[in-house]
Structure 1
Amino acid sequence: MKNLHVIVLFVFIGVFSGCKSTKTLTGTDANLNLNTKQVLRENSKQTARFKSLSAKIKANYFEGDNVKSVVVNLRMEKDKTIWLNGPFSAARLLVTPEKVSFYNKLDNTYFEGDFKLLSDFVGTDLDFNKVQNLLLGEALFGLEESTYSASVNNDLYLVQPKQQNPLFELFYIINPVYFKIVSQQLSQPQDERLLEIDYLKYQDVNGQIIPEQIKINAVEGQSESIIELEFKSVSLNEKLHFPFKIPSGFEVIELK
C-alpha cells in the first residue's frame, strides 16, 4: 500500500510551473478593504478555465526518515478526467467523476472503485470536483457568502465558516493581490488529523492563474507526511489521450 499512497498523494496536490507562456505572479497592490461578498467574488473570478492541461511534475515525498523523489506526467481534461503516469509507465492512476482506478506493475496489483481510496487518505469525503479543486488551488468546499466570513489577518484574507463544526474545522487564506487561495487547512482535532495545503507560488499560464509551487502537510497522530512539488513544464488546451488498461493477471487491492 505504500506505493499506492505515494501515487495517491500526487492526485491531491498539483503545482503548475510553466514554459515560455508562463509568468510567476508577484505584486504589492493589496486590497484589504473588501467585505466577505467582495472577497469571494474576486476569488471566483480567478477560477481556472481551460479544456485540457498537461504537465511534468518533479515530486519529493517525506515521511519520517523516508524520502522519495519521482517525476510523473499529469494530464487533465477539465471536469472529466485526471490521469497520472509514473516513470516507465510502471504505475498509472485514472480519476473520473464515476470512479478511481489504479495499477502498479512493480507489484502486479490494481484498484478500481469509488472515492474511498482518496477519501481515506485525507480523512474527509471526496468526489471528483473536490480532487480537481485541490489540483487547481481552488476551495475544496464551495465558498458561499451566506455561510462564510472574511477578516484580515497578517495582510491576508482569512475565510472561515461563520460557525465552525467542532469535529471539522476549515480555514482558507486568500491573497489580497490576485485573490487565489494560498492555504487550505482542514483540521479534525478529536482524530488528531490535519491536512494543510500551501500554494507557495502562482503563475499566469496563457491568461489562467494556476499554482506554480505547492507543499502539502498531512498529519495523523504522531505521523506526518510532506510533499513538495515542482512542475517542469505545462501546456493548456492541447488534444490529449488518457490510455489506461489494467493488465491481466493483476491482484486486486482490497480496501478495509
Structure 2
Amino acid sequence: MNKSLFLLAALGLASCHRAVSTKSGSLTAGTSTPVAVATPAGVKAANTSFQYLNGRGKIHFKHKDTDQSANFSLRMRRDSAIWLSGSLLGIEGVRALLTPDSVRVVNRLQKTYFAGDYAYLSQLLNVPVSYQQMQAILLGDYQAAPKGALPVVKKEGDNQVITYPQASLILEQLLSGSTGRLQQLKVSETAAQRSLTVGYTDFQKPTGADLPFAFTTNVVGQQGGTESTSATLSYQKVEVGSGHLDFPFSIPKGYARQAKVKK
C-alpha cells in the first residue's frame, strides 16, 4: 500500500505544542455549534467548532501507475492531534499521527517509519502545508487570510470566491452562499508550477453536529501543469461530540527509519 494514500487524504494540515496522550478522551455533547469566522466585509463563512471527530470510510487513490482502494479511519482532537489508519483486506498498512509540530508515520507493510516535521507532507502534497492547514482541509473549514493579506472577493452565482496570497502560495476558496460551508479549496504555487485542489460534496449532518459536513472529499495534486496524484475520501460514518477516542501510536522495534519521501 502506498504510504501517500493516507497522508494525501490527511489534507489533505499550530497552536498547542503539547504531547498527545494515548489514553481515552471524552467527547462531550453540544460542541459542534458553527463558528463565525473573521472574514472580509460581506463574506459569510461557517466553520466547525467541535473538539473531537471520529470518522471512517473508504479512499480511492491514484498516483502514477498506482490505482488502489482501501479503508481508512480518522480521529481528531482540535488543535492537538490528527490520527489516521489505513487498511487493506482487514490488514493495517499505514498509521500516522500529526501534531502541531511533528509528523509520525509507520508503514507496516514495508516495516519503515518516519518521524519529523511538515516538510515531509509538503513533499507528498507538492505544496507547503502546516498542521492548521491540514486540520482545516480535513474538516472542510474556511481559512482566513493572514494578517496583511488583502483578500479579493467575487460572486459566483449564489456562492462566493475568496482569493488571497499566503507566503509563496495563492489560496482560492469557494463558499456556499446558503450554508457558509467551504465547497472547494485551491492552493497554488505559481513559481513551482504546482497546486492542490480539494472539493467537498455530499454534505450531511454527522451525529452530534449542527453544521453540515462533507462526506465526500476529492483531492487532486498537480505538478508542472499535469495531474500527478488524486484521492477520493468517502465517509461511511462520522461522529462528533460523543463517545471516547484513543490516539494509539508506537514504532515497532526493528523498523527502519525513512529519511526522505519516496513517491
The two structures share one fold, judged by TM-score above 0.5? yes
Deviations 1:220-240 (A, max 9, x none): 124421111110111112221
Deviation sequence 1:142-198 (CA, Å, 0-9, x none) = 46697213111243211112xx58963321111101011111112223322121111
Counterparts of 1:11 and 1:104 in 2: how far apart (Å)? 16
Higher RCO, Cα 8 Å, sep 6+: 1
Deviations 1:44-93 (Å, cap 9, x if unpaired)? xx211112111112000123553100001111111111111122333210
Map of 1:122 onto structure 2: 125
- The runs of 5 or more residues in structure 2 that have no matched partner are 14-38
Q: Does 1:38 align with 2:42?
A: yes
SS of alignment partner, residue 244 of structure 2: coil
Distance in 1 of aligned mates of 2:247 and 2:149: 39
Distance in 2 (alpha carbons) for counterparts of 1:213 and 1:223:
20
In structure 2, how many angstroms separate the alpha carbons of the residues matched to 1:172 and 1:203? 20
Distance in 2, matches of 1:214 and 1:140, equals 17
Q: Rate the CA distance shift 1:145–1:47 in 2: closer, same or farther, 3 A.
A: farther
Query: CA contact under 8 A between 2:204 and 2:212: conserved in structure 1?
Result: yes
- State the AA in 1 paired with 2:255: F
Identity of aligned residues (%): 22
Give the structure 1 partner of residue 62 of structure 2: 62
Question: Match for 2:11: what amino acid?
Answer: F
**Aligned partners of 1:134, 1:152: CA distance in 2, in Å?**
22
Amino acid at match of 1:103: V
- Alignment length (residue pairs): 229
3-state SS of the aligned residue for 2:121?
A: helix
Equivalence for 2:7 = 8
1:167-182 mapped onto 2 (5 Å cutoff)? 168-182=169-183
When the two chains are superposed, the root-mean-square deviation of aligned CA atoms in Å is: 2.5
Q: How does 1:127-206 map to 2 (within 5 A)?
A: 127-140=130-143, 142=145, 147-161=150-164, 168-205=169-206, 206=209
The structure-2 alpha-carbon separation of the partners of 1:64 and 1:113, relative to structure 1 and needing over 3 Å to count, comes to closer
Distance (Å, rounded) in 2 between the aligned partners of 1:167 and 1:105 = 35
Greater helix fraction, Structure 1 or Structure 2: 1
